[in-house]
Structure 1
Amino acid sequence: MLGRLGVGLYNIDLPACRAREIDVIPASGANADSVAEYVLLAIGTLLRGAFAATGEVAAGRWPRDRLIGGRELAGKTLGIVGFGDIGRRVARLAEAFRMRILGHDPLISATHADWSETKTEMVGLEELLSRADAVTLHVPLGPETHGLLSAPQLALMKPDAVLVNAARGGVVEEEALAAALRAGRLGGAALDVFETEPLPPASVLAGVPNLLLTPHIAGATVESNARVSSLIAARVLVALAMC
């Protein structure tokens, strides 16, 4: 068997594992809370826009006039694209901040209890993008989701809206996102995943304003690492006991 210390299986040769009768076991759900918290923290940081002033304040400057235009989470509309386990956890956290919640997931029926239980309004992707003050992505990478948010979709978003991608690189077209941020057609973005990891030299994302970049660590915390390791170890023990 092969234990995956994470959720995504995109970096494992699954056909080769099946051919050799190797069971592949992901740590499903073990880091979902870490990702959900990352998303809300990133959205709050982007909306408030006040947490990068340490150097200025420490140097005796007082950029208060520039930073008093920050926005609150309360009352804002959050759009969640992909309403699986992580998407639902994001919705529950957002509800605690008194955000209005929109959701889009073509794989979940309109009558599914998850929509009402999380107080989420199910809408189409275009409506979600046009209404949301913040958008977060929680979809796998595949032919139908590669470039899901390209220039036409980004153009539907409000000019002061923010975007978070902690799902998979390639879901957002990076060049189109960089262009929208440079032109002021989008309020901000946070990316934890990228088409190529690590980013290549002279990446199109280098030096882009109002852009937060992290190295694929949304699901990695002290607590989630312990949960992931314990879960995989337990499943390995079960598999060995069955041999």
Structure 2
Amino acid sequence: MSVLILEPLDPEVMRWLADRHPVRYAPELAGDPRAFRQALFNVRGLVIPPSTALDAQALHFAPVLKAVGRVSAGAENIDLTACARAGVEVVRSLTATALAEAEFMIGALLAMLRRVPVVNEEGLLVGRELGGATIGLVGLVPTARSLAQLLAGFGARVVGYDPAVHANDPVWTRWGVEPLGLRELMEQSDGVCVQLGYFSRYRGLLGERYLSLCRPNQVLVSISPSGLFEEAALADALHSGRMSAAWLDSLEPGWLEPGRPLADIDTLQVTPRVASTTRESRVRAAWAVARRIDELLTGSTPAPRAEFRPTAPDDSLDLEAGAASG
């Protein structure tokens, strides 16, 4: 066997792969860890869903594995360090979900600005418009580029912060984003969009130090892992009214349980990672992953293209390269 697929893919993509490699489609293995490991012995390419873990133990059963692909967003189920040590490339498209995520964040901003009213100069409770607002982008990833373009169409001022991108980097100008420090961004933004890639060094980045400074009536939407936030600080910002509303599309298990800081806050909305999942983005991601796996198995390219994330778990995205910066 050459390619093992546990996640449903677009039928045309499946046929394309099957024309080039022996393919086994076995979604039932996603719920059976033991059978999954036993099936890995002669697998060179693998596509797995979020529910299937690929860790050092599983890799021990996959001596010829060269690539593991993820069509869905995120890679929390994949041990990136173990894959790097085993020489297994983790294949995820950088750009396939960017537009879907940007549209989701625009929708979330519009909903919160209208749904959570503020008191105007006449003493009336009113909604707000996105046009003329200042929107802060935390994380200069491909989604931010699409988001900045959409926000410009509304007439919003777009500012941004990324700890890995210097303020003098030309990418800020190319993407139409004004660079600010995180403190200034929180102080000036009517809405904040968080799409920063998660690394352990960023855990708790958005904590009391910055959330205590948010602009009055600020709204926030995040598609990043919730580990970027200090849950107590976010809860305090919402309870106190400094932040009018927040929408998180990814939340760690247990954060809404009774007794936890974010439990029972009616200005917090949580969705189960739906930002990146659209019909169109799934097709784009499936084609990108399938083509890269084909390249790796046939040896047609010596190195990953800029469209794909590196395997190394702590590498930053090179925004000057390829499709990410354009």
What TM-score comes out, normalization by structure 1 length?
0.85
Pick aligned residue for 1:238 from 268, 276, 295: 295
Pick aligned residue for 1:181 from 228, 232, 238: 238
Task: Please report how far the alpha carbon of residue 128 of structure 1 lies from its aligned counterpart in structure 2 after TM superposition.
Answer: 0.6
Match of 2:113 in 1: 47
Pick aligned residue for 1:97 from 148, 154, 175: 154
Match of 1:5 in 2: 71
Match of 1:167 in 2: 224
User: How many angstroms apart in 1 are the aligned matches of 2:85 and 2:200?
Assistant: 24
**Map 1:110-129 → 2, pairs under 5 A:** 110-129=167-186
3-state SS of 1:188 partner:
strand
Native 8 Å contact 1:7 1:28 kept in 2: no
2:105 maps to amino acid = V
Pick aligned residue for 1:28 from 94, 98, 109: 94
1:201 maps to amino acid = E
Structure 1 range deviating more: 150-159 or 39-48 = 150-159
Q: 1:225 to 1:199 in 2, by over 3 A?
A: farther
Deviations 1:124-164 (A, max 9, x none): 11011101101111212223311111123111001200111
The share of aligned pairs that are identical, in percent, is 35
Match of 1:215 in 2: 272
Deviations 1:176-204 (A, max 9, x none): 2122212212111100112x237563254
User: How many angstroms apart in 1 are the aligned matches of 2:232 and 2:193?
Assistant: 18
3-state SS of 1:187 partner:
strand
Task: Please report how far the alpha carbon of residue 15 of structure 1 lies from its aligned counterpart in structure 2 after TM superposition.
Answer: 2.8
Q: Determine which structure has more spread, i.e. the larger CA radius of gyration.
A: 2
Deviations 1:64-115 (A, max 9, x none): xxx9601000000001111121122211111111000111123223333322
User: How many angstroms apart in 2 are the aligned matches of 1:75 and 1:219?
Assistant: 27
Gaps of 5+ in 1: 51-66
**Map 1:133-212 → 2, pairs under 5 A:** 133-194=190-251, 196-197=252-253, 201-202=257-258, 203-212=260-269
Task: Please report how far the alpha carbon of residue 241 of structure 1 lies from its aligned counterpart in structure 2 after TM superposition.
Answer: 2.0
Native 8 Å contact 1:149 1:173 kept in 2: yes
Match of 2:4 in 1: none
Task: Please report how far the alpha carbon of residue 118 of structure 1 lies from its aligned counterpart in structure 2 after TM superposition.
Answer: 3.1
Gaps of 5+ in 2: 1-66, 117-123, 301-326
Task: Please report how far the alpha carbon of residue 7 of structure 1 lies from its aligned counterpart in structure 2 after TM superposition.
Answer: 5.1
2:151 maps to amino acid = A
1:18 matches 2:91: no
Match of 1:108 in 2: 165
Pick aligned residue for 1:69 from 126, 147, 171: 126
What TM-score comes out, normalization by structure 2 length?
0.64
User: How many angstroms apart in 2 are the aligned matches of 1:126 and 1:199?
Assistant: 26
Q: 1:127 to 1:91 in 2, by over 3 A?
A: same
Native 8 Å contact 2:136 2:160 kept in 1: yes
User: How many angstroms apart in 2 are the aligned matches of 1:47 and 1:16?
Assistant: 43
User: How many angstroms apart in 2 are the aligned matches of 1:18 and 1:145?
Assistant: 21
Deviations 1:184-240 (A, max 9, x none): 12111100112x237563254332122221011211111111111121112222222
Runs of 4 or more above 4 Å deviation: none
Native 8 Å contact 2:72 2:277 kept in 1: no
